[in-house]
A and B are shown apart, each in its own frame.
Chain A
């Protein structure tokens, strides 16, 4: 292995010392490896695995191959909203409007549900991968480097946002810092700080964390550490514990490490960078007894599967056996010679996280035979009637899944 610990610690030091150190570094030594190359062994130097392309143009409902989607008996799927390129985050406003964040074009869409049809407008665009949450009449837009609050947007669609960015003190490195955000049962805003690399000793302590804040950005608390990149979480309906997805690192082969589903233990450490999936020591960032004291996952979600949006089902539309079950969107792998994911799965587990079983729920977005895919489920949202919205980041549409006997 050519990439050494030395290189990573040097990177950490360089960033910590600031710009002048970076300049000096660039003149005297090899550059730190870019995130995609970190941890890539020489044996994979000729690999052609690479992130999958985003689609930036709008897709009409009629052009979505809806009939290929498979669901358990009794479930139906429709295209609920179309022409939302790169749609990912979904949140619902108090007045019943929906807000959808998109990544490549940096937009927040407002979608108005007129019953059988939907209309949409762009609230704001050109942000860095914005996502959204809603509380007490205000829309919170959280980009990689910005937090904006739109007060009373229901009554005043053109309200100028209040810029809360300074209060949140986001980290300078942008990699893995798309933010899944949600207000918890405690009224606080939960915000992940992803690791700014594939695998590294983070340049400063603020990365690989889950934090929570008061809605205005005050009262920050670090809740847990060693979390490489969570891109989905929700609170267990009975225990009120936070369960969160976490992406495993790249370039450790097709079958390791797994993405994971986890329960949040206050003050817990989840292993990054030295231990993955609770039991797998990292070959690049080595420590003595790296997995000792590391929180164990509830479930392994598939290697490189890109486990994303998390939602506990609490509605009554779906049959009783779906109550309190965790739904998880898996966007699909790139760092794997055979693709997995591109689906929505269920995690059935005891309330204490024991006896977890992962089973398919919504499939048909990919074709194993030719390794093609057309859809990438990313985010889940339960509607008031108990139906479930699923955003498809590839198609730029939102599906609605319903059930009837």
Chain B
């Protein structure tokens, strides 16, 4: 992720914090603005390797926010951003993004790659947890329509046991898979309408 975006985000936060009073049970607009600087104003990311949050299951978002705040899921770009943010605010953020609509994928489909990814996803039974249409549920994320580069980045990290703080079930599930297969799965899922 380009550095200037982080700087922009922090600058934006500085202004927003001054302008916005905090209230319980509602995601403060300052925080939403900070998230939006990278994850997209409506939670649909336009930046490489940054995931979309819109339409993700609320529990998934809430759990990840807690894990990131606690430093158990290590995301260098987010370090410190959630320090001391109370649970109630993380829950409100999770509700906020869960309620936003995920945009439809608009990248161009590479049919052979897509078909291979479709078959692999079915064969690997990803749909048992992420549901057959890959929209996710509860603690399991929506994969359909997620950014292709982010899916690939994440699955590569999981496969090589580098995804600290993520469910180890995923490392086991992707153990030994080839990078070509990961690319096919990422392409298929990214182009699946959420």
Contacts and interface: CB of A to CB of B under 8 A. Distances in A.
Do the two shown chains form a genuine complex with each other?
yes
Interface of A: 25-26, 30-32, 34-37, 40, 45-50, 52-58, 85, 104-106, 125-126, 174-175
B83 interface: no
Interface residues on B, range: 20 to 34
B132 A35 contact: no
B128 A53 contact: no
A52 B140 CA distance: 10
Nearest to A45: B125
B38 to A, nearest CB: 22
B173 A34 contact: yes
A30 B125 contact: no
Contacts of A58: 87
B66 A34 contact: no
Interface string B65-84: 01100111000000000000
B2 interface: no
A105 B175 contact: no
A279 B39 CA distance: 54
B28 interface: no
Contacts of A125: 70
Contacts of A57: 62, 66, 87, 90-91
Contact of B63 (A37, A54, A106): A54
B131 A48 contact: yes
Given A126-B72, A174-B168, A50 B175 contact: no
A292 B80 CA distance: 58
Contact of B177 (A31, A47, A48): A31
Given A26-B176, A31-B177, A53 B139 contact: yes
Contact of A105 (B62, B70, B129): B70
Interface class of chain A by DSSP:
loop
11 contacts: A26-B175, A26-B176, A34-B172, A35-B169, A37-B173, A46-B132, A48-B128, A53-B138, A104-B67, A105-B70, A175-B168
B140 A50 contact: yes
Chain B at the A interface: SS class: helix
Contacts of B36: none
Contacts, number: 70
A26 B160 CA distance: 12
A62 to B, nearest CB: 13
A126 B66 CA distance: 12
A126 B168 CA distance: 15
B153 interface: no
Interface in B88-131: 90-91, 125, 127-129, 131
Among the interface residues B62, B87, B132, B176, which one has the most CB atoms of the partner chain A within 10 A? B176
Contacts of A105: 66, 70, 72
Nearest to B62: A57
B59 A53 contact: yes
Nearest to A56: B66
Contacts of A53: 59, 63, 138-139
A85 B177 CA distance: 35
Given A48-B132, A56-B63, A57-B62, 12 more contacts: A34-B173, A35-B169, A35-B172, A36-B169, A36-B172, A48-B128, A52-B138, A53-B59, A53-B138, A57-B90, A85-B66, A126-B72
Contacts of B90: 57
B67 A30 contact: no
B72 A106 contact: yes
A85 B72 CA distance: 15
Contacts of A52: 138
B176 A56 contact: no
B106 to A, nearest CB: 29
A50 B128 contact: yes
Contact of A25 (B132, B169, B173, B176): B176
A49 B128 contact: yes
Nearest to A126: B72
Interface in B140-155: 140
Q: Which of B63, B127, B128, B175 is most buried by chain A, counting CB atoms within 10 A of its CB?
A: B128
B133 to A, nearest CB: 11
A179 to B, nearest CB: 17
Nearest to B170: A34
A53 B175 CA distance: 23
A126 B71 contact: yes
B159 to A, nearest CB: 10
Nearest to A47: B128
A56 B62 CA distance: 8
Given A48-B127, A53-B59, A57-B62, A30 B91 contact: no
B139 A54 contact: yes
A13 to B, nearest CB: 15
A65 to B, nearest CB: 18
